[in-house]
Each structure stands twice: as structure tokens, then as C-alpha cells.
């Protein structure tokens, strides 16, 4: 089903790509756009993960350079029944994270320095488990391919604004070019959003089960949501087509479910996690930014470190 969904998404974005090409150059423009789209799809399938990681300046870490982080990822990947993904760190103050890769065998998890500094070990486990759930669901291919092609559509629409304004050359005219420049990126954005919210809920659910405690992720979401309103992510602002890849929208941290939200409402996600905690028989207190849940590690034993005593810095920085 995931591969079918990916194929349908690629087909829809390719059709939009061709439509913009047709508006710019007629039938010839549509064919050129088809060739470009096919090449982009193929290139993206093999290289989109590296492109996104490079876009955010992420650097790979290992057990020698980040033993606790890599060890945590390895433990959770084992619980999820996944191969060990590569682990990357972004030199970014905003706490956030994403996963990428065309399949579980070629996956990567990237976290920001801000995430490691501001979250407790338990909360970080919840976030990483969420990203591993995306890998297990094969969402990572969908996210990276969507981000790359949506960005390409936006660039093609802007190209059409400069070269498609002459109706004598089968262009859409000035008014049509302006509409194309506005509507084509919106169309690509809506395709991204069509799957984003259900994908996030599914990853929250499976990630909470992988970590063993839904409230760890719920507490982490509160902290990340609050920081997203206060700490700008300039790389994300320059590349808004990738915003849907992060666990929380890095651009504005929307708090309401609406047509143009890249993520579900954080409060709705927390409510779903609280319901899951109740179903699993776990303690589900109300979530606050200064609380940590619960007093056991993600591997079912008492945590020797215990919850972080302070609300701002975790055990990593």
C-alpha cells in the first residue's frame, strides 16, 4: 500500500509538472516537462536523502562521536525490528527531527542540537521512535520525493513567470503566468498535506509503542511546539517544501487543524497519545513542558538516570 501511495503521489505531481510545462510551452513544453519529471523522479529516488541532509548541513555521527545518541537509536531500532539507520546531527538551535531514506536498509535519522539539549532522554526516545516509525512505514521515501518534486514545481512555475508571458509563444500570458506561479506551488503543497496528517498520527501511534510509553512523545511534542514559535529555523525557511518532513512544522508550528497546516494540531496529537496510553494501561497525566514520563527507560527497566530535573536542557549537551 505504501508503494502504491508513493506511485500515485508521484503520478499526481508529475501531472502537475506537465501541466505547468504545457502552460509555458504547449505540447512541446509538456513533453519537455515529462522528460524532466522522469529524470527528477529517478534522481530523487536514489539521491533525495543525501540532498535533504546536505540542505540542512547535517553531519553523520557514530558511537565514538555521539555514543549516547547512537546507542539510543540502536536500542530503539532493535525494538522496532529495523536495521540500524545512519544517525545525523544538525547544528540547529530549534529542537526538531526528521527521518529520510528510500527504504529501511538505506535510512537515516537526523536530530538538531536543540533537540538534544532541550529534551530529556525519555522525551528524545519518544521522538526517535516516532522517526523510526516513519522508516518502518516507508514514509521516508514519500516525504523526500514529495519535498524534492514540490520544490521543482515551484521553480518551474517561477520560470514560467519570466518566459511564459507571451501568448504568441503559446504561453499563458501575464495574468495566466501570475496565476500559475501562485497556484502550481499551492497544488503541490496540497498534495503534500493530503497525506501528512494521517501519516503523523500513524507514526505517533507506532512510535509510542516502540518507545513503550506514549507520554514521552507527548511531552516532547509540547516542548518542540513551544520552541518552534520562538526559535527560527532559517534552513527550513529557505526550503519550505521540506517542512512536512519534520516531527513539528519548523516554519510556524501551526496549532490548528486546517487545510493549509503541514502537521496535525499538536493538541490533537497529544490527545491521541493520551488515549493510547490509557488503552495500554499506562499512566496518562496531563502534559506540561516541565514534566517527564515515565520513570522507566524505553527498554522496560528502571532508568538509572531518571527524568531530567530541569525543563530546558537534556542529558546530551
Higher local confidence (pLDDT), 138 or 300: 138
The C-alpha cell of 166 is what? 507571451
Predicted confidence (pLDDT) at residue 191 exceeds the cutoff of 70: no
Predicted confidence (pLDDT) at residue 300 exceeds the cutoff of 60: no
Percentage of the residues of the chain whose pLDDT score is greater than 70: 65
Task: Count CB atoms within 10 A of the CB of residue 167.
Answer: 11
Q: What is the 3-state secondary structure (H, E, C) of the chain?
A: CHHHHHHHHHHHHHHHHHHHHHHHHHHHHHHHHHHHHHHHHHHHHHHHHHHHHHHCCCEEECCCCCHHHHHHHHHHHHHHCCCCCEEEEECCCCCCEEEEECCHHHEEEEEEHHHHHHCCHHHHHHHHHHHHHHHHCCHHHHHHHHHHHHHHHHHHHHHHHHHCCCHHHCCCHHHHHHHHHHHHHHHHHHHHHHHHHHHHHHHHHHHHHHHCCHHHHHHHHHHHHHHHHHCCCHHHHHCHHHHHHCCCCCCCCCCCCCCCCCCCCHHHHHHHHHHHHHHCCCCCCCCCCCCCCCCECCCCCECCCCCCCCCCCCCCC
Higher local confidence (pLDDT), 257 or 50: 50
Mean pLDDT across the stretch 289-311? 38
Which domain does 46 fall in, by range? 2-279
Least confident of 11-25, 37-51, 86-100, 255-269: 255-269
Q: Which CA distances in Å does 52 have to 57, 227, 236?
A: 9, 22, 11
Mean pLDDT across the stretch 231-239? 90
Establish if 185 belongs to a structural domain.
Answer: yes
Predicted confidence (pLDDT) at residue 196 exceeds the cutoff of 90: no
Establish if 156 belongs to a structural domain.
Answer: yes
**What is the model's pLDDT at position 212?**
93
131 tagged catalytic: yes
CA distance 132 to 75: 11
Give the chain's radius of gyration (CA, Å): 21
Predicted confidence (pLDDT) at residue 97 exceeds the cutoff of 80: yes
**What is the model's pLDDT at position 84?**
98
**What is the model's pLDDT at position 127?**
98
**What is the model's pLDDT at position 148?**
65
Predicted confidence (pLDDT) at residue 64 exceeds the cutoff of 90: yes
**What is the model's pLDDT at position 110?**
98
Establish if 268 belongs to a structural domain.
Answer: yes
Percentage of the residues of the chain whose pLDDT score is greater than 90: 41
Length reported for the chain: 317
Establish if 289 belongs to a structural domain.
Answer: no
Mean pLDDT across the stretch 123-150? 86
Establish if 293 belongs to a structural domain.
Answer: no
Establish if 226 belongs to a structural domain.
Answer: yes
Predicted confidence (pLDDT) at residue 87 exceeds the cutoff of 80: yes
Residue with cell 527531527: 97
Mean pLDDT across the stretch 183-202? 71
Establish if 31 belongs to a structural domain.
Answer: yes
Active-site entry in 131, 225, 279, 291: 131
Predicted confidence (pLDDT) at residue 297 exceeds the cutoff of 60: no
The C-alpha cell of 241 is what? 517544501
Mean pLDDT across the stretch 118-135? 97
Predicted confidence (pLDDT) at residue 278 exceeds the cutoff of 90: yes
Predicted confidence (pLDDT) at residue 168 exceeds the cutoff of 60: no
Establish if 285 belongs to a structural domain.
Answer: no
Number of domains in the chain: 1
| Mean pLDDT over each residue of the chain, to the nearest integer | 78
Amino acid at each position: 500500500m505504501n508503494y502504491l501511495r508513493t506511485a500515485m503521489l508521484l503520478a499526481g505531481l508529475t501531472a502537475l509538472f506537465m501541466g505547468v510545462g504545457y502552460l509555458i510551452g504547449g505540447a512541446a513544453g509538456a513533453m519537455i516537462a515529462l522528460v524532466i519529471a522522469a529524470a527528477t523522479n529517478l534522481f530523487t529516488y536514489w539521491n533525495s536523502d543525501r540532498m535533504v541532509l546536505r540542505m540542512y548541513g547535517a553531519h553523520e555521527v557514530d558511537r565514538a562521536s555521539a555514543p549516547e545518541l547512537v546507542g539510543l537509536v540502536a536500542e530503539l531500532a532493535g525494538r522496532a525490528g529495523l536495521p540500524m539507520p545512519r544517525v545525523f546531527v544538525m547544528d540547529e538551535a530549534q529542537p526538531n527531527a526528521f527521518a529520510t531514506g528510500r527504504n529501511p536498509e538505506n535510512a537515516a535519522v537526523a536530530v538538531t542540537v536543540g533537540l538534544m539539549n532541550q529534551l530529556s532522554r525519555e522525551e528524545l526516545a519518544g521522538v526517535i521512535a516516532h522517526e523510526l516509525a516513519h522508516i518502518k512505514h516507508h514514509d521516508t521515501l514519500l516525504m523526500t520525493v514529495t519535498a524534492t518534486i514540490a520544490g521543482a514545481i515551484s521553480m518551474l512555475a517561477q520560470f514560467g513567470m519570466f518566459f511564459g508571458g507571451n501568448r504568441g509563444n503559446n504561453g499563458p500570458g501575464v495574468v495566466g503566468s501570475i496565476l500559475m506561479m501562485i497556484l502550481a506551488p499551492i497544488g503541490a503543497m496540497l498534495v503534500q498535506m493530503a497525506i501528512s496528517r494521517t501519516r503523523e498520527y500513524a507514526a505517533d501511534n507506532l512510535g509510542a509503542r516502540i518507545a513503550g510509553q506514549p507520554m514521552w512523545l507527548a511531552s516532547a511534542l509540547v516542548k518542540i511546539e513551544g520552541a518552534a514559535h520562538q526559535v527560527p529555523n532559517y534552513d527550513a525557511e529557505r526550503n519550505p517544501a521540506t517542512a512536512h518532513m519534520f516531527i513539528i512544522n519548523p516554519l510556524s508550528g501551526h496549532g490548528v487543524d486546517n487545510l493549509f497546516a503541514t502537521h496535525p494540531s499538536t493538541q490533537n496529537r497529544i490527545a491521541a497519545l493520551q488515549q493510547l496510553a490509557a488503552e495500554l494501561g499506562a499512566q496518562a497525566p496531563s502534559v506540561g513542558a516541565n514534566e517527564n514520563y515515565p520513570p522507566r527507560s524505553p527498554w522496560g527497566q528502571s532508568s538509572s538516570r531518571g527524568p531530567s530535573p530541569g525543563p530546558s536542557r537534556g542529558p546530551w549537551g
